[in-house]
Amino acid sequence: MIFLGCPRSGTKYITKVCESVGKKVGHERCAKNGISYWKLVAGTEHAHAGLMSFAGHRVLHQVRDPIATIGSMQTLGGNAWSFMRKHLDLPKIKGESKIVVGAKAWVGWNKRAQEIAQHTYRVESLTDPDVWTKFCKWTGIDIGVRAIYSVPFDVNTRLGHVKYASITGRTLRDLNEEVWREVKDLAASYGYRVKS
């Protein structure tokens, strides 16, 4: 199993979910049953050995609420931004708001992940029995939805640990309406509603 997503989209959380049902999925490293790593969207050479290709693997694209993800992306360090800038046409942070750059990255990274993956799901929807059933079918996990409740959703939260500005759809729209529309449209395709 390979889990792709944008930075701060819950890749560590999905690793813990898999562990809770007996699957060894490494967070940002290969393990017996797979890997969950945002950098893989740029190619398998970023898997730290052990993964040569996406071929023959179940590849899933995980999305998280765009406003929550973009807000949390403000906590990313310079290396993460540099990495994304190598693979996406992103402006330097100094020249533009980190929120706007994060929004552009959210759109670009998720579009790339969606092209690679066989399935896309919303991480917040995994507690829905219908979504969990699909997830289990896609991953080969055979266990009831109650298993997901054993993993706290905030397993890798930075809220309260690293300071960053809370944002809303209105915040993004006020900063850059064009980028807000791109986020809003892509988010709608995943079933999210980004308000202004």
Residue 150: its pLDDT value, please? 74
Residue 155: its pLDDT value, please? 63
Residues 172, 157: Cα–Cα separation, whole Å: 21
Residue 162: its pLDDT value, please? 64
The residue-averaged pLDDT of 154-163 equals 59
pLDDT at 161 over 60: no
DSSP state of 109: H
Residue 21: its pLDDT value, please? 87
Residues 195, 160: Cα–Cα separation, whole Å: 24
The residue-averaged pLDDT of 28-37 equals 93
